[in-house]
Amino acid sequence: MKKKLKSFAEKIKRGEKTVVYELLPPPKNLSRKDINRSFSLFAKILGKYPIDAINIPEVREESRNGVRSDTEIIKLEPRVVCSHLQKHTSVDFIINKPIVYHPWKKQQKWFDSVHKKHGVKNIVLVGGESSKINYPGLSVIEAAKRVGAEYPNVVLGGITIPTRKGEAKRVLQKSQNGVKFFTTQILYSSESIKKFLLEYSELCKKKEVKPNMIFLSFAPVGTPKDITLLEWLGVEIQKGTKELLTTGWLGMGWRSLQICQDILEDILSFTIKNKIRVPLGLNVEHLNRHNLESSFVLLERLYNIYGKQKYVKRKAGLYV
């Protein structure tokens, strides 16, 4: 008898190794034939890798760090992407939902649709661009409480930005209000995430609570425009890393793969050395369409590193 695979929710609850692939929604103006052919191929490729869930972000027009140099293309809504992909794969899905832009009554209809119609039980609650803006919707913590009360079967996730001051306390507060896992901003430096993991681990130990899983996010880059996009998104890229990526007529993509590998190895070594008891997940993204193929190369390389990692044992024996 074939062994039943654990769900994404079961794995994060147990603190077991969990791998997620984040798929950027395609343009809304694609033909149905283009969509079906693309998603069919994507599902076949993804089936070759140890993926526990497909993470689908909602792409919105944003004004952070100034206006983007390229005009944004209107993307398919995550629910639509999910409905197409469910025809080709049985992998679990995670949908990212910006929660602050609409009142709860409207958000509630969205949750009804995603949970009941599409059967998606894993939702990442996304906050706004700035804490200085007064949004019409609920905050992430307020939404987490409301979703927990009205949709008890939904597993909630959040976004963590390691460079943000006081992030460990912020993550702990969200965890105490129902958020079960967190996905980092794309990583092109290890210093901030190492500091965050150490602070979060020590804070959880002090409060005598179990730390939630933190998904480390990685994406390859292939052109200078990719780097510009990362910087626009607020990703920390040190001067030496940027110089390494941009120096040379050829090979930016391959250099980015190696940089991501080095960062992951550095993070994992740091957690072992400092006995950090935070379960870590792996999230790989493709950032742009032209990076899709290289993202699978990155996924394989990072999994070869991540799969060998052993969590530091807790007294309760939960992480091994």
CATH of the domain at 214: 3.20.20.220
Domain count, the chain: 1
- Could you count the other beta carbons within 10 Å of the beta carbon of residue 301? 18
207 and 179 in contact (C-beta within 8 Å)?
no
Q: From CA 87, how far away is CA 94, in angstroms rounded?
A: 16
- Domain span at 127: 17-306
Residue 312 domain-assigned (yes or no): no
Q: Compute the distance between CA of residue 10 and CA of residue 231 in angstroms, rounded to an integer.
A: 35
Element (H, E) at 226: helix 224-232
Could you tell me if residue 256 is inside a domain?
Answer: yes
Which of 294-299's residues contact partners 24+ apart within 8 Å by CB, and which partners? 294/220, 294/222, 294/253, 294/256, 294/257, 295/21, 295/219, 295/220, 296/45, 296/49, 297/220, 297/257, 298/218, 298/219, 298/220, 298/257, 298/260, 299/19, 299/21, 299/49
- pLDDT 10s digits, 120-157: 999 999 998 777 788 889 999 999 999 999 999 999 99
Mean pLDDT on 24-37: 90
In a domain, residue 51? The reply is: yes
pLDDT at 67 over 90: no
Arithmetic mean of pLDDT over the chain: 90
Positive or negative: CA dihedral 136, 139, 140, 141: negative
* Residue 2 belongs to some domain of the structure: no
What number of CA atoms fall less than 13 Å from residue 153's CA on the CB side? 8
Return d(Cα 53, Cα 29) in angstroms, integer.
26
What's the predicted TM-score (pTM) here? 0.92
Residue 287 — φ and ψ, nearest 5°?
65, -50
The string of pLDDT tens digits covering residues 224-269 is 999 999 999 999 999 999 999 999 888 999 999 999 999 999 999 9
> How much is the CA Rg of the chain, to the nearest whole Å?
19
The whole-angstrom separation of Cα 107 and Cα 18 is: 28
Domain assignment present for residue 1? The answer is no
Q: 313 lies in a domain?
A: no
Is 216 domain-assigned?
A: yes
For residue 202, the model assigns a pLDDT of: 97
Please name which of 92, 19, 22, 52 lies closest in space to residue 280, comparing C-alpha atoms. Answer: 19
Give a yes or no: residue 39 inside a domain.
yes
**Whole-number Å distance between alpha carbons of 266 and 272:** 10
Q: How many CA atoms lie within 13 A of 203 on its CB side?
A: 18
What pLDDT shows up at residue 303?
96
